[in-house]
Structure 1
Amino acid sequence: MPLTMPLAAFLLTGPAMAQADSVKRGFWWYSAPPAPPGAVEDMVPKAPVIPPMTELARWSPPRIAKLITEQRDYAATVLTLDAVADFWRLQDFARRKARAFAGVTQLALLAHPELSARSAYPVVGDARDAQGAEKDATRRSYLRSKGNEFALVMFSRASCGYCRVQWPLIQRFQDEMGWQVSQMDLDHRPDLKNRFGVEVTPTTMIIRRGSSQRMVIANGVEAYPNLIQTAYQAVKLLSGDIRPEQFLTGAGEEDGFFDALANGPVAASDPATQPSGRQP
């Protein structure tokens, strides 16, 4: 016989009711724990203390940036005119400080031209054209002098359409630089793929004669001027005329603004940075 509601309520009083209520609330009626006192107030950021400009001028940029961020967050929260105006006053201070730094920078570069790219890279178009022609002549002269020491190899496949585009450029390199060039078909010589680590075709590689030294200078089709430039840098590296850190040092830029090692080592692994008697 089913229990009537009053009887059911009576039987579920005391510990049984408390246990049932606890299980029911814990599993089905979960509610987040109450927030600790003052939690709502803590969500509103405190107003940052903005010092006088004479003191702010002595602050470091990271400290100023932190203050600007704090003032921005505060102003965006309270949205009062004074708070927003203070944020933009700080921004204006930072702008003027950056402008002042730029002005002093220009004076410093005029006083020390070796620190400016203008000393090595002209901004006038005619001068840039003349510089480009001079660098190209330097690269070509150097490569011609190395024709008996290095050779150029292009790895290809019969199914490679790009190889048919790259090969005439390699032949042009031979005609203008006097180098020996050759084309290796990986379909006929599959052993060369693993021997030289060739993954794609066309792959153009410089090989030093009578040596195991070699270096890839192009993967895929490469424009002829870029081919000359990369070949020049590669030969200089393989010949020991430059170090890896100087691979972007162009023709005629040695010991200049664009030479990474013009003023000494730049890497912790450089032997010159090691303690006496210790090698990296």
Structure 2
Amino acid sequence: MGATSEQQYGFYNDTKHGWFWYENPPLEQEEQANTPLPPIKEPRIIPSLDSYSIDELWNMYPDDFQELLNVLQKKAVQTPSEQSILEYLTMQDIARRKALAYTNATMYVTQKYGELFNVNHVYPTAGPGVTARVSMQNDEIVQTINRAGNDHALIFFVSPGCGFCEKQAGILSYFVDKYGWQIKTVDISRNINSAARFNITITPTLLLIKKGQNNYMPVASGVIAMTELERKLYRAIRLLQGNTREDTFLMYDFQKGSAFDPTSILNKGEQPWKSSD
């Protein structure tokens, strides 16, 4: 009976283990169970041009072609044998020929559909054409500024001790002699409200205003030459008059409807890439 009691007592003591008895498992077993297995590195597959025909390489999608080209380049660097270098240079030659074919086809399409893609008729690059283009631009600028003189004016913001303002004032005197515009000079140190209204922090600054409108357009900050002043003022005038927008800001009137008119293609309603057959 005593032996039986001792056996039972030992049995119950041995079974008092585990989570039910608030006992954590051994730490070493837990670490071993959570240790990740090392990744299995698969063998690298090095391609060969023997698996491709010239037609397949020529018609391969550009991303796939570039990927194959890069792999063959690394293969040639890793193993600079005659075969590996020949394969890489072959890919380079195909890429060069494909680029040449693209260039030729592009020149053909732009010449055939010159009314869509050729800008020479509004922006020629040949000597006589450049002279004519510059003359047309200057005429349009001068006419626009002259017509706007009656209902537009410039505000010239200056500050004490501003040497750049003096230089700009000299340029503006030539402008007034040429166009007869009204220019109002504002000292931002004495007219703080005016400077704050137009957010002027730099002098000299030129601002274009239009009679009867609250809108205005900055023309220039800092010293600006006469020719650049005329160009920027021309664009600002057309914007305040509603004759241009942000996406056609640099365009001249004689370029409307041409390839230099960004949105003119939207008004034609055509799909030139579709066959007319």
Instruction: Give the C-alpha shift of residue 80 in structure 1.
Output: 2.6
Say whether residues 1:231 and 2:233 are aligned partners: yes
Match in the other structure for 2:53: 52
Match in the other structure for 1:7: none
Match in the other structure for 1:132: 134
Instruction: Give the C-alpha shift of residue 171 in structure 1.
Output: 2.5
Give the root-mean-square deviation of aligned CA atoms: 2.6
Match in the other structure for 1:164: 166
Match in the other structure for 2:199: 197
Kindly tell me: are residues 120 and 53 of structure 1, through their superposed partners in 2, closer, same or farther at Cα, counting changes over 3 Å? farther
1:149–1:208 Cα contact (<8 Å) kept: yes
1:46–1:74 Cα contact (<8 Å) kept: no
Q: What are the Cα deviations for residues 184-220 of structure 1, in whole angstroms up to 9, with x where unaligned?
A: 1112212222111112111111111222110111111
Distance 1:186 1:219 in 2: 14
Q: Which runs of 5+ in 2 are unaligned?
A: 1-34, 268-277
1:119–1:257 Cα contact (<8 Å) kept: no
Kindly tell me: are residues 61 and 177 of structure 1, through their superposed partners in 2, closer, same or farther at Cα, counting changes over 3 Å? farther
Match in the other structure for 1:214: 216
Distance 1:38 1:112 in 2: 57
Q: How does 1:64-79 map to 2 (within 5 A)?
A: 64-79=65-80
2:119–2:258 Cα contact (<8 Å) kept: no
Using structure 1 for the length normalisation, give the TM-score.
0.75
Distance 1:119 1:87 in 2: 44
Instruction: Give the C-alpha shift of residue 78 in structure 1.
Output: 2.8
Distance 1:98 1:110 in 2: 18
Kindly tell me: are residues 141 and 84 of structure 1, through their superposed partners in 2, closer, same or farther at Cα, counting changes over 3 Å? same
Say whether residues 1:81 and 2:82 are aligned partners: yes
Q: Which has the larger radius of gyration?
A: 2
Match in the other structure for 1:152: 154
SS of residue in 2 equivalent to 1:79: coil
Match in the other structure for 2:29: none
Distance 1:250 1:64 in 2: 44
Matched to 1:71, the amino acid is L
Q: What are the Cα deviations for residues 1-52 of structure 1, in whole angstroms up to 9, with x where unaligned?
A: xxxxxxxxxxxxxxxxxxxxxxxxxxxxxxxx9x95764x75xx53235421
Say whether residues 1:249 and 2:248 are aligned partners: no
Match in the other structure for 2:7: none
Kindly tell me: are residues 37 and 259 of structure 1, through their superposed partners in 2, closer, same or farther at Cα, counting changes over 3 Å? closer
1:139–1:251 Cα contact (<8 Å) kept: no
Match in the other structure for 1:276: none
Match in the other structure for 2:91: 90
Match in the other structure for 1:272: none
Matched to 1:220, the amino acid is G
Match in the other structure for 2:264: 262
Instruction: Give the C-alpha shift of residue 137 in structure 1.
Output: 0.7
Matched to 2:163, the amino acid is G
Number of equivalences: 234
Using structure 2 for the length normalisation, give the TM-score.
0.76
Distance 1:87 1:223 in 2: 55
1:47–1:74 Cα contact (<8 Å) kept: yes
Q: Percent identity?
A: 27
SS of residue in 2 equivalent to 1:119: coil
SS of residue in 2 equivalent to 1:110: helix
